[in-house]
Amino acid sequence: MFARLVRSGAGGALAAGSDLLTLTVLVDVAHVSARIASIPALLLSSVVMFFGQKYLAFQGRGKPTSREMLLFALVQLGGLGLTALLYDFAVRSVPFLLEHYVVARIVVTNLIWLGYSFPLWHFVFPHRQGS
């Protein structure tokens, strides 16, 4: 289980990297507004996250199934909502966090991943025993 958690974190790091790289290229090179650029960046990072979790974290085999894609999308939407709520609560409750919003976002995102997304992904991706 610990190895799967580490692999899941690696998949998340790849997704975060693709998000930030895409966002940066679209804003700084293509001169797209950050608000508009965030949409394709987040979509790409969600695709990277799906494949990272399926093949890296849960060591899936075969092509993605419709069931996996649908359940993953539902988990991601729930995680997005929980992240927004917890982040808003954190920065409203602890005004100091407004100055350190990136740190607050990283902490909140990781709490949601650890307490919500990662556990639910066990229902999304069938995994082999011992993985």
Per-residue pLDDT in tens (0 to 9) along the chain, 131 residues: 899 999 999 999 999 999 889 989 999 999 998 889 888 988 999 999 999 999 999 999 999 999 999 999 999 999 999 988 998 899 889 988 888 877 888 888 999 999 999 999 999 998 665 55
- Taking the C-alpha atoms of residue 105 and residue 90, their distance in angstroms, rounded to an integer, is 9
CB 22 within 8 A of CB 40: yes
| Cα 105 from chain centroid (whole Å) | 12
User: Which residue, 55, 44, 40, 39, is CA-closest to 121?
Assistant: 55
- Do residues 47 and 82 both lie within one domain? no
- Do residues 71 and 114 both lie within one domain? yes
- Do residues 3 and 55 both lie within one domain? yes
- Note the helical H segments in 25-100: 34-51, 66-93, 96-99
- Do residues 28 and 44 both lie within one domain? yes
Going 73 to 104 to 53 to 24, the CA torsion angle's sign is positive
- Do residues 51 and 1 both lie within one domain? yes
87 lies in which domain range?
A: 65-125
